[in-house]
C-alpha cells in the first residue's frame, strides 16, 4: 500500500507539473477579450518584443463613439511602376500599377496576341552584375491574374540580388516587358563565409561566440546556472490561498462560468455643513449634504456606525447599521 501511495503521489506531482507547464506555455488565452501575448514554443526572433510592444497599444473592444472615417485612398496614382522590397532572406514583395493607357497601347500593338498573352512576373537573379535585361544568372516566371497588384515572391535564395519585370508572355514564347522594378538584395541567413585575412577568427571560437550571441547558452556556463535557478523558483511558487478577492476564479477556457460579488452601498444625508464619520473615518459630503459610500463586502458581520456632528460641534447623531453576509 505504501508503495502504491508513493506512486500515486508521484503521478499527481507529475500531472501537476504538466498542468503548470500548460499554463505557462499554453496557447494564446483570452481573459475577458484581452489578448495575452502568446509565447512561441519554438523560439521566433523578436516574438517577445512584438508581444510586449503590443501591450502599449491596447484598444477598446466594443464600438467606440462614431469617429469621422476618412475616405478611401486611391487605387493607384496613374503611373506605370513596380516596386520590390525585401521581407526576409527568402521572400521579396512586389507591388505594381499599370495604367489603362499602357494596356490600350499594348492592345493596339499586339492585336489578337494581347488576348492570348499571360501576365507574368519575371524574377531575375542579378547578383553581382549590372543588369541590362539579358545578362541575369537565371530567371523564373510567376503567372499573375489581371486583378492582382502585389505579390510575395519566394526567391529561395538568401544573399542574392533580384530584379523583376512585369510583362506579357505571348503564346509564341516572346516576353513583352511592361515595367521593370528596382533591384533589391536579400540578406544572408547565416554567418558570412567571407573572413577577413587580417581578422581571421578560428572556426570553433566563432561558433561559441555565435551561440552565445543568440542566447543559446549551451556552450556557456551562464545558461545552465540560470536554468537551474528558474526551475527552482517555479517549483517553489506557493499554492492557493484563501484570501477573499473582489473577483473570483474566472475560468478562461470553459464555456460556462459565473462570477458573483457583493458590494454594500451606504448612503444618507445630513446638514451640508455637518461632519459625518463612518466607522470612525470622516466621509466627504456633497454640496446638498448627501453622501454615498461603497464597500466590497466579505462574509461575516459588519458593524457600521455612522455619526454626524453639527458644524458648531454641539449636536451629534448616530445610526449604526449591522450587515451580515453569508455565501452558500
User: Segment 186-205, which members bind another protein (CB under 8 A)?
Assistant: 186-192, 194-196, 199, 201, 205
Considering the complex, state which of residue 108 and residue 237 has its C-beta at the smaller distance from another protein.
237
Q: How far is the CB of 63 from another protein (least distance, A)?
A: 8
Q: Does 37 bind another protein (CB under 8 A)?
A: yes
Of residues 237 through 266, those in contact with another protein by CB under 8 A are 237, 240-241, 243-252, 261, 263
Three cell numbers written together for 52: 510586449
Q: How far does CA 42 lie from the centroid of its chain?
A: 16
In the complex, least distance from residue 169 CB atom to another protein, rounded to whole angstroms = 24
C-alpha cell at 67: 469617429
Q: How far is the CB of 227 from another protein (least distance, A)?
A: 8
As measured in angstroms, the least distance from the Cβ of 174 to another protein is: 29
Query: Would you count residue 127 as binding another protein (CB under 8 A)?
Result: no
Q: Which residue in 1, 42, 72, 172 binds another protein (CB under 8 A)?
A: 72
Q: Which of 73, 258, 260, 322 binds another protein (CB under 8 A)?
A: 73
Least Å distance between CB 110 and another protein? 27
Asked whether position 27 contacts another protein by CB under 8 A, the answer is: no
- SS3 annotation, 182-197: CCEECCCCCCCCCCCC
Which residue among 142, 169, 178, 293 contacts another protein (CB under 8 A)?
A: 293
Residue 213 interacts with another protein (CB under 8 A): yes or no: yes
Spell out the long-range contacts of 229-232 with Cβ–Cβ below 8 A and sequence spacing 24 or more. none
Q: Where are the beta strands (DSSP E) in the chain?
A: 30-31, 34-35, 81-86, 91-97, 118-125, 138-143, 150-154, 161-169, 175-180, 184-185, 263-269, 275-278, 281-283, 290-296, 300-303, 306-309, 316-319, 322-325
Number of residues that bind another protein (CB under 8 A): 109
Site for another protein in 153-172 (CB under 8 A): none
For the segment 219-238, give every residue that binds another protein (CB under 8 A). 220-223, 225-226, 229-230, 233-234, 237
Which residues are registered as beta bridge partners of 94?
A: 84, 151
Q: Does 93 bind another protein (CB under 8 A)?
A: yes
Burial label for 82, CB within 10 Å (0-12, 13-18, 19+), is: buried
In degrees and rounded to multiples of 5, residue 182 shows phi and psi of -70, 170
- Classified as helix, coil or strand, 221 is helix
- 126 phi/psi in degrees, rounded to 5: -120, 30
Specify the residue, 89 or 268, whose C-beta has the smaller distance to another protein.
89
Amino acid at each position: 500500500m505504501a508503495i502504491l501511495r508513493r506512486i500515486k503521489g508521484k503521478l499527481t506531482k507529475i500531472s501537476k507539473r504538466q498542468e503548470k507547464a500548460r499554463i505557462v506555455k499554453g496557447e494564446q488565452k483570452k481573459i475577458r477579450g484581452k489578448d495575452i501575448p502568446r509565447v512561441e514554443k519554438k523560439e521566433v526572433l523578436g516574438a517577445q518584443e512584438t508581444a510586449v510592444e503590443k501591450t502599449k497599444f491596447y484598444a477598446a473592444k466594443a464600438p467606440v463613439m462614431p469617429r469621422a472615417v476618412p475616405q478611401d485612398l486611391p487605387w493607384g496614382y496613374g503611373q506605370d511602376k513596380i516596386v520590390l522590397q525585401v521581407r526576409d532572406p527568402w521572400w521579396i514583395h512586389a507591388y505594381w500599377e499599370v495604367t489603362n493607357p499602357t494596356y490600350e497601347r499594348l492592345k493596339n500593338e499586339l492585336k489578337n496576341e494581347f488576348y492570348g498573352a499571360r501576365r507574368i512576373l519575371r524574377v531575375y537573379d542579378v547578383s553581382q552584375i549590372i543588369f541590362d535585361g539579358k545578362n541575369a544568372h537565371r530567371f523564373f516566371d510567376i503567372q499573375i491574374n489581371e486583378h492582382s497588384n502585389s505579390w510575395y515572391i519566394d526567391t529561395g535564395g538568401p544573399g542574392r540580388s533580384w530584379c523583376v519585370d512585369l510583362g506579357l508572355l505571348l503564346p509564341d514564347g516572346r516576353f513583352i516587358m511592361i515595367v521593370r522594378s528596382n533591384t533589391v538584395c536579400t540578406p544572408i541567413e547565416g554567418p558570412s563565409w567571407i573572413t577577413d585575412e587580417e581578422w581571421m577568427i578560428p572556426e570553433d571560437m566563432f561558433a561559441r561566440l555565435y551561440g552565445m550571441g543568440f542566447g543559446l547558452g549551451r556552450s556557456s556556463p551562464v545558461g545552465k546556472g540560470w536554468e537551474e535557478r528558474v526551475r527552482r523558483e517555479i517549483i517553489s511558487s506557493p499554492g492557493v490561498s484563501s484570501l477573499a478577492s473582489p473577483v473570483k476564479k474566472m475560468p478562461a477556457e470553459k464555456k460556462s462560468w459565473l462570477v458573483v460579488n457583493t458590494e454594500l452601498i451606504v448612503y444618507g444625508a445630513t446638514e451640508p455643513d455637518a461632519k459625518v464619520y463612518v466607522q470612525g473615518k470622516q466621509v466627504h459630503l456633497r454640496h446638498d449634504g448627501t453622501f454615498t459610500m461603497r464597500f466590497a463586502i466579505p462574509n461575516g458581520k459588519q458593524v457600521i456606525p455612522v455619526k454626524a456632528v453639527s458644524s458648531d460641534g454641539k449636536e451629534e447623531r448616530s445610526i449604526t447599521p449591522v450587515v451580515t453576509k453569508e455565501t452558500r
